[in-house]
Structure 1
Amino acid sequence: MIPYQKYHGTGNDFVIVDASNRVPDRSAFAMDVCDRETGVGADGVLFLHLEAQFNPPRVVFTLFQPDGSTAAMCGNGARCAARWAADRVPVDEDEDPDAPRAFMLDTQAGTRRTVVEGDEVAVEMGAPAFRPLDVPVDAFGAFEDEELGGYEVTAVNTGVPHAVAFVDDVDEVDVEADAPAIRHADVFPEGANVTFASRREDGGFDQRTFERGVEGETRSCGTGAVAIAAVAERKGLVDPGEAVSVTPPGGELVVAVDENGMATLRGPVEYEFDGEVEAPPVRILDA
């Protein structure tokens, strides 16, 4: 049996497995465990290797998605990973247990610094990239406000590619019907997450995201929240460094993109429960 812990960040939920546990077929494991009808139910499985001997402690981060694929980065997953690590690294006797604690995450998108302060976790997300080669998107220049699937779309990479569309009211969007045409558009050679945003009267943004790899809408998406803030700043809707409230269905996130273009994502993380599951046999794919 494989022990696991379940965490969520604003409703974006993950099964976390210590990478020291042997799971022969991680892809098959994620497909089984993430299934909300027959498995535990999650938006992804995080395999984490904690290296507590470093200062700050380091976590090697690997995310498998419900379709069995991997993703280079996940904002809420990174925040959950940091909270998981904080729950496992004891505080020294001479340290304030309520003081912020730093952890370094080694992801496929690069090393990310996180800070855990109680139930709030912040992660440095790096610089959102608009260059076509970095997204990637088939375009000669930045792919901005281009008509795609009936929406004006801007492409940005915030660790993973996002197609961002600003609309009058995200609640009026039929995400499951409209997003797949954008997610699978030929212009995105690796596909894209699709994020819809609408501005609120208080200056913040409401968010809904269709996630690549989940192949459906999730209750929250951290890289999508960062994508909204980055595109909003590029459009002049927010000032550089301004803390931007982004609210997906699962709760509020706060994003800031500083004058140097570096983004930070902050929000709550909650531990849910522990459990055990069987590791499925290795699946042999047909040639």
Structure 2
Amino acid sequence: MDAGVAYFPTHDALGPAALARLVEERGHRWLMWAEHTHIPASRETPWGDIAGAPPLPRKYARTYDPFVASAYALSVTSALRVGTGVALVAQRDPITTAKEVASLDHLSGGRFDFGVGAGWNREEMADHGIDPRTRMRRLREYVLAMKAIWTQHEASFHGEFVSFDRIWSDPKPMQRPHPPILVGGAGPTVLHRVLEYGDGWMPNHGPGIIERIVELRERADRPIEVVVMGAPSGDVDVLSAYENAGVDRVLFWIPSGRRSVVERKLDHIEATMAELHDRPA
């Protein structure tokens, strides 16, 4: 099991390029960004759509666009894989997003990972003109439409929310047929989405994940990567359980702060992973 980091790239913390250089220099292989275009000040939807959730951290409203952050990170690194963890696809135009993903992947030599999700903040979706009740259907359809754009010279797609006939959109992604699509979420129907259009499953750390990994492996007819987001950086027993369950990668959240804050967290993560790898098999 390998490890990477996830980050809210805020304007008042270590920037995307500096962070990417630091993460690559220290031997990490993955860097994933959170996405929120904005946070409605009403704050009617609880954080994570969970009743009784604590107040939302300020970083949620202060993030750079993850595709812009990715461009900065990819331009100053040579081996680091960079991606979205997750892009709120239901709030995005699929033709424009397909172009952004393909451009980043092509310019980086095939180092972009595309984490996708439907989102949880209902007011944020509504500000984009999206009915939250349609977000799962939109996520599915937008991903399928983007796949058509990436894999067809003259792409066509006709669905409930997006429809186009015979479009040209180059460059195509460097990775074939397209960058890995990591489906986020841990709701009751998420494995259906993973199996239909995902290359991997990227749930948040939490109860029941290991049991659902077993279910995923039993149902899948192809290799599907499992990436656990927000793994506890100081709990070797939990990480060992994930490794034994066949998790391919864990992602640790790095605090949005100055370089010294980030480096302290990286020290902690690396010590934890070293302890895990030193355990007897």
* TM-score (structure 2 length as normaliser): 0.28
More helix by share: 2
More strand by share: 1
